[in-house]
Structure 1
Amino acid sequence: MHASTTHRKTVVTALARTVAAALLATFAVTGLGATPALAEGDVAWTVRTASNSYGADRSSFSYAVNPGGQAQDAMVVANRGKAPLDLSVYTADGYTTGTGQLDLLTRDKKSVGIGAWVHADRERVAIQPGETVEIPFTVTVAGNATPGDYAGGIVTSLTQPDAAQGVNVERRLGIRIKLRVSGALKPGLAIEDLHVDYSGSFWNPFTKRDATVTYRIHNTGNAILTARQTVSVSGPFGWLRADAGEVKSPPDLLPGESWTMTVPVHGVATSGRLAATATLTPLLTDASGSTTSLKQVQASAHSWAIPWALLLLILILVAAVAGVYLLMRRNRARRKLREDARVRKAVEQALREKSTQPS
């Protein structure tokens, strides 16, 4: 295995341990912890939002700024360990991982939103044991910024050698930043590539089976959205409908992101032509934390659930009926032929007898 691959896997493992102890529930590597993860010896510092005009005891940073506008805030870092810390400080754009968590781009990746507009007043901070340091930062939104929602974070990072692995390991703690650039907000979700798979029974077509409905939710607007969902599968004309029940909501999707849903639907009848329908109710959260339900989005797809054993039985019955009919028809024809022959013979016999009688 290459050293770079080992390094990446080691970093991911260290970050996962850090998340479990001190990060926000909705973020994989950005968050806030009241107590450092000293038990595992991974992290000896904490981060929190500063108390100021934006509020106290905030779980994250959130701003609404006009294009070209600014906002100023600060993050507080505390060294809870027994040794001095030399931490790097940087900002980065966020993205949704495959597990539904918000993660941040690494420093070597280019940021175009939060990571490009948010700047701390220093790139490194040295903190003595027991010391607390406030790190101011400025949000400067580009004048040509597209209206809508952006997500990212401000991060403190410590790189240390790992003797066991023989590589350097980066441990990160940070706080998320949500930014809404003023302008026309156009939230929108789309359902794409919807299809349904059915696991019917060949031998028992009357047993209800499971179907799996798969589709992709695409955030086509400029606002962060999640959604309530319902999924159902029905037979022809909407008959024999089966509902999936409660469907887990997708994570908060950033503009442009997609999320694949795989939803099992139980108790689906083998009814021939199946129709699968997914319905989304997009949910928009404003700066105050209030959630608004938007216009529903719906999509459908079709598949076949053919009762092969039943069809085979029907074909056998049809063939049997047709065979009996043909046999009966053939027997009637034979009886008619025999009756016609008997009549002809009787007529011929009568004619012969008449011709032999004296005049």
Structure 2
Amino acid sequence: MRAFRTLLALAAVLTTTGLVASPARAADGDVAWTVRTASNSFGADRSSFSYAVNPGGKVDDTMVVANHGKTALDLAVYAADGYTTKTGQLDLLTTDKKSKAIGVWLRAGSERVTIQPGKSVDVPFTVAVPANATPGDYVGGVVTSLTQPDQEQGINVERRLGIRVKLRVGGDLTPQLAIENLKVSYAGSGNPFAKGDATVTYTIHNTGNALESAKQAVSLSGPFGWLRATSGEVPAAPELMPGESWTVTVPVHGVAPALRLSATATLTPLITDASGSTTPLDTIAATTHGWAVPWTLLLFVVVLIAVVIAIVVLTRRGRAQRKAREDARVEKAVEQAIRMKSASTS
């Protein structure tokens, strides 16, 4: 069996930021097609599909697929759950991985569509939310897929083109972000009194049931809040799905060697409603501590301690030797006195 390599052409419609209303497009030689949302009661020129549905409810909509190539296209149509990649973009599970939400709840009217050159077809689909669905936000996509052999590499290449589907299941919405695994490290210079660089790392964990991004800020200070330093502007965290985590690494330059550092990470969670309006939530913060000792100063301290210990040891040894000599002299003098007394009495 030939191996598969998947190319996912999600274009702007599946990115979590910078959405545009233009259709997503896949093109390669004589093969080219686009997908877009249909104009209907949900609106026109939508950049993605977005719904609010109560448990047990359903919604019907349509995706339009157009063939801009020179040959007929036979495309598979399916849905898949989404996830946030390490680069902060939205991606969809491949067919070998099991979806649990939108990838299961969304069903297209047909699993395959054939489109003639220069033509387009409507692909209706239904999103049916189970009655026991947990309230909150879900993200996935409805996908068109073309699998073609790559003779040179001996593999099958699956090209996917899809549109994001965002679903908010009715019920209590509990947005919540947590700062976890907060750490700070320091790297000084050869000059023990010069400023160095610190690195702050932490994990943003979406522990709620809503899609959330966040504004970020990082600050450092020495004992009693002295020698304060800030990281400058930190890029906003990507929109995280419920349960997802995002690791953040923030460099902070010009940090004084304050011996003991306090590092504080601050988040302002952002939540987007169905209309696309973004609302900031209450700020959260976490603080940790770390050492900020230049290695040259540390070496000097170690050498100084070694010298002090050597002086103490040598001093004690000298005292012991002097005491031993004094004890020997006294003992000898006593012996001589005893011998002289014995000689005089005899």
Residue 198 in 1 paired to residue 186 in 2?
yes
- For 1:179, the equivalent position in structure 2 comes to 167
What letter is aligned with 1:204? N
- For 2:211, the equivalent position in structure 1 comes to 224
Conserved in 2, the CA contact under 8 Å of 1:27 and 1:103?
no
Residue 96 in 1 paired to residue 84 in 2?
yes
TM-score relative to the length of structure 1: 0.80
TM-score relative to the length of structure 2: 0.83
The one of 290, 297, 300 equivalent to 2:284 is 297
1:204 Cα deviation from its structure 2 partner: 1.0
Structure 1: distance between partners of 2:30 and 2:268 = 41
- For 1:137, the equivalent position in structure 2 comes to 125
Conserved in 2, the CA contact under 8 Å of 1:36 and 1:43?
no
Structure 2: distance between partners of 1:311 and 1:56 = 66
The one of 140, 144, 147 equivalent to 2:135 is 147
Residue 266 in 1 paired to residue 253 in 2?
yes
Alignment coverage as a number of residue pairs: 308
1:111 Cα deviation from its structure 2 partner: 1.1
The one of 44, 61, 65 equivalent to 1:73 is 61
Change (3 A) 1:27 1:280: closer
The one of 109, 113, 117 equivalent to 1:125 is 113
SS at match of 1:251: strand
Conserved in 2, the CA contact under 8 Å of 1:76 and 1:134?
yes
Which has the larger share of strand? 2
1:24 Cα deviation from its structure 2 partner: 2.7
Conserved in 1, the CA contact under 8 Å of 2:24 and 2:35?
no
What letter is aligned with 2:71? A
RMSD, matched Cα: 2.6
Structure 1: distance between partners of 2:84 and 2:20 = 15
1:31 Cα deviation from its structure 2 partner: 9.2
SS at match of 1:116: helix
- For 1:246, the equivalent position in structure 2 comes to 233
Change (3 A) 1:42 1:96: farther
Structure 2: distance between partners of 1:173 and 1:309 = 57
Conserved in 2, the CA contact under 8 Å of 1:210 and 1:266?
yes
* 1:75-100 per-position Cα deviation (integer Å, ceiling 9, x unaligned): 00001111001000000110111111
1:313 Cα deviation from its structure 2 partner: 5.9
Structure 2: gaps (5+ residues): 312-346
The one of 271, 277, 280 equivalent to 1:284 is 271
* 1:287-322 per-position Cα deviation (integer Å, ceiling 9, x unaligned): 0111111111111111111245446667859x89xx
What letter is aligned with 2:154? G
SS at match of 1:205: coil
Change (3 A) 1:228 1:70: same
- For 2:333, the equivalent position in structure 1 comes to none
Conserved in 2, the CA contact under 8 Å of 1:120 and 1:136?
yes
The one of 8, 13, 18 equivalent to 1:24 is 13
Which has the larger share of helix? 1
Structure 2: distance between partners of 1:34 and 1:101 = 18
Conserved in 2, the CA contact under 8 Å of 1:240 and 1:269?
yes
What letter is aligned with 1:26? T
- For 1:45, the equivalent position in structure 2 comes to 33
Structure 2: distance between partners of 1:192 and 1:35 = 37
